[in-house]
Amino acid sequence: MTTRAATGPGLDITAIRKEFPILSQQINGHPLVYFDNAATTQKPGQVIKALTDYYSGYNANIHRGIHTLAEKATKGFEETRVAAQHFLGAREKEEIIFVRGVTEAINLVARAMGSRLLKKGDEILISGLEHHSNIVPWQMIAEEVGASIQVIPVSENGELDLSALDTLLSRKTKMVTVNHASNSLGTINDIETIIDKAHEVGALVMIDGAQAAAHIDIDVQKLDCDFYCISGHKMYGPTGVGVLYGKREHLEQMPPYMGGGEMIREVTFKKTTYNDIPYKFEAGTPNIADVIALNEAFRFISRISKDSIRRHEAQLLDYAARQLTRLKGVRLVGTAREKVSVQSFLVDGVHPFDVGQLLDARGIAVRTGHHCTQPLMEHFGIEGTVRASFAVYNTQEEIDAMIEGISRIKGFLQ
């Protein structure tokens, strides 16, 4: 990359790019431009190294071993728990549960909390911006107990219409579950207001932080949410690992989600007593390697600082939106005032799949389709969008390459 790329707000983007080995490759004869970060981010060397160090140096099953390797693995695993506690601003490390990702976290809460909390006639409030993973688990439990799903509507620019909260929330509302930021449109939701209003009617609140974790400072105590979850792979960490935060009072009264090893205190054929939190929810051998490497993702983010990441990405987002708008026949989808670095758009007369295919031919990775938010796409009367999402290692030059690619497509197909 050229010098312009390196003149971010205090960040040396050229140096940061060098930390991501995957970025230096050519795709279809062009330098890789990776704009699919909302799906998964790339991984810095320190995360990759943590994985290989673990497997080549101290792979062992954790918690019950007394040998040296088991000690070392357990220490690394539990250190990540403390790091996650600090990353999310949780009061105690016992409030941190390791899961596979946000999808599992939501399923865990819907199942374990939902079965305890919900009864016939109760309501679960979600939003029109939700990913299928924050819709379907709630539909499943709602159907089982006879509860119903209510939806916070979405305005034209892709913001939630919070004026509807007063009519949507009632004593029947037992659970409110919304994302911190939308994966399709990037909208940052005013979760503070949602949490406060939900608590006023006695509902619990779960926040899906999948799209927020790499961009926005999170303080679960300040937010006062009941549950918050993140996925490691969307914040420079490995796949298959995520974190569920829950307030101790809720986690303690929730029944276990899965049975097995680790989650028990004592097992007899007559009765089993369960372990304390967090282990009650961590049945079986966990994803030790990825949990340990997740700590390096926390370290990477804290070294660069979320504030710097956010400022750099905001510049990219603003630049991309302006450049896209200048192209005739390109329409932005999702223009909320507060956004993470996600820009969805449509090219008139060209299907998103075709845009994606042609951009890929030029080495540019974007996502196309409904982004697992079919109800939202239906709301806008579209089948899907092209989505470019930016991370700390992206540059303006890369956006220029995408704009040039789209210009060619327009010239060819329109």
Q: Which residues are catalytic?
A: 372
On whether the CB atoms of residues 315 and 8 are closer than 8 A, the answer is yes
* DSSP code per residue over 143-192: HHHT-EEEEE-B-TTS-B-GGGHHHH--TTEEEEEEESB-TTT-BBP-HH
**Of 354, 374, 375, 379, which one interacts with other proteins (CB under 8 A)?**
354
Min separation Cβ 394 and other proteins, Å? 22
On whether the CB atoms of residues 229 and 209 are closer than 8 A, the answer is yes
Min separation Cβ 70 and other proteins, Å? 41
361 binds other proteins (CB under 8 A): yes
29 binds other proteins (CB under 8 A): yes
412 binds other proteins (CB under 8 A): yes
Window contacting other proteins (CB under 8 A); options: 106-114, 196-204, 293-301, 352-360: 352-360
Q: Between residues 137 and 384, which has the closer beta carbon with respect to other proteins?
A: 384
**Of 358, 366, 392, 406, which one interacts with other proteins (CB under 8 A)?**
358
The first and second tokens of residue 352, run together, are 């998103």
On whether the CB atoms of residues 373 and 132 are closer than 8 A, the answer is yes
How many CB atoms neighbour CB 111 within 10 A?
A: 18
Min separation Cβ 335 and other proteins, Å? 25
CA-based nearest residue to 264, from 251, 250, 283, 248:
283
Min separation Cβ 231 and other proteins, Å? 23
381 binds other proteins (CB under 8 A): no
d(CA 240, CA 161): 33
* DSSP code per residue over 54-120: IIIII----SS--SHHHHHHHHHHHHHHHHHHHHHT-S-GGGEEEESSHHHHHHHHHHHTHHHH--T
Window contacting other proteins (CB under 8 A); options: 59-67, 95-103, 180-188, 346-354: 346-354
365 binds other proteins (CB under 8 A): no
d(CA 192, CA 195): 5
Q: Between residues 25 and 357, which has the closer beta carbon with respect to other proteins?
A: 357
Min separation Cβ 369 and other proteins, Å? 8
Which residues are near other proteins by CB under 8 A? 28-29, 350-351, 353-354, 357-358, 360-362, 383, 412-413
